[in-house]
Amino acid sequence: MDAKPATKLNVFIVEDDAVTRESLRARIEAHPRLRVGATSGTAAEGVAALAARPDVLLVDLGLPDGNGIDVIRAALRRYPDLPIMVITVFGNEKRVIAAIQAGAAGYLLKDDPTHEIGAAIELLMQGGSPISPAIARHLIRHFQEHGEPLPAAPRETLTTRELEVLALATKGFSYAEIAQLLGLSTNTVASYTKHIYEKLAVGSRSEAIYEASRLGLLER
């Protein structure tokens, strides 16, 4: 008896440029476990489309009738656990911080060659935070320059291997890329990441970068 095919994850795209929308659609639907359920060219259309619940939401920030951050907030008011990733050309620090504070769990630049969109969405669904290396640098610099007081040390000290995984994650590498660089399996990297999150008392890659920066772990 043939196995029942796995249900594909339903990805919604909010992007005002039609060429980019179709490029994203093609790249996403090339992945065997993903499908594009809806695309929108404006913030208003994006918010309206949320009535049919997506599994993942991809949002551009520069929209003709508003800011993608408004879409992020509207989506999380309706679905507090919805994984959301920003895909945009805007990489300035103010927009990065605003999007993450609004609830985005990932932030990729459209011209970033280091992330394959299907793998990035998978990482997002696993509880990770795909972040372009340039965006990770923005986050680190922001928290370094604002001079926030250091919190208490983690409940347990991170191991050497966990620090290696954390350093590569901060540079924007995916689980698969970290596994290849360190000679580990993807599942092992996921396990190390889970331990890092537990020790830092965080729930995403962006939060881990924030805490690691404040603790000085990335400078060791």
- The single residue listed with the structure tokens 């250091």 is 150
Same domain, residue pair 162 and 214: yes
Give pLDDT, residue 3: 47
Same domain, residue pair 111 and 169: no
Give pLDDT, residue 171: 80
Same domain, residue pair 192 and 120: no
Same domain, residue pair 23 and 62: yes
Examine residue 42 and state whether it is found in any structural domain, yes or no. Answer: yes
CATH number at residue 177: 1.10.10.10
Give pLDDT, residue 6: 62
As beta bridge partners, residue 183 has none
- Alpha carbon of 1 to those of 4, 6, 8, 32: distances in Å? 9, 15, 21, 21
Same domain, residue pair 55 and 97: yes
Domain count, the chain: 2
Same domain, residue pair 124 and 155: no
Examine residue 140 and state whether it is found in any structural domain, yes or no. Answer: no
Per DSSP, the three-state class of 136 is: helix
Per-residue pLDDT tens digits of the chain, which is 220 residues long: 454 446 888 999 999 999 999 999 999 999 999 999 999 999 999 999 999 999 999 999 888 888 898 999 999 899 988 999 999 887 667 778 888 888 888 888 887 776 788 888 988 888 778 888 777 777 777 666 765 544 444 445 788 888 888 888 878 788 888 989 999 888 888 888 888 887 777 777 777 777 777 677 765 4
Same domain, residue pair 57 and 121: yes
Examine residue 3 and state whether it is found in any structural domain, yes or no. Answer: no
Give pLDDT, residue 151: 47
Same domain, residue pair 69 and 125: yes
CATH number at residue 38: 3.40.50.2300
- Domain coverage including residue 194: 150-219
Output the six-digit token pair for 173: 């590498």
Same domain, residue pair 41 and 89: yes
Examine residue 214 and state whether it is found in any structural domain, yes or no. Answer: yes
Q: 156-165, long-range: CB within 8 Å, 24+ apart, which pairs?
A: 156/199, 157/199, 158/196, 158/199, 158/217, 161/192, 162/192, 162/195, 162/196, 162/199, 163/217, 163/220, 165/189, 165/192, 165/193, 165/196
Examine residue 143 and state whether it is found in any structural domain, yes or no. Answer: no
Same domain, residue pair 119 and 174: no
Output the six-digit token pair for 200: 């830092």
Give pLDDT, residue 19: 92
Give pLDDT, residue 147: 56
Angle between helices 205-215 and 133-145 in degrees, nearest 10: 40
Examine residue 53 and state whether it is found in any structural domain, yes or no. Answer: yes
Same domain, residue pair 33 and 122: yes
Give pLDDT, residue 166: 87
Alpha carbons 67 and 77: distance in angstroms, whole number: 16
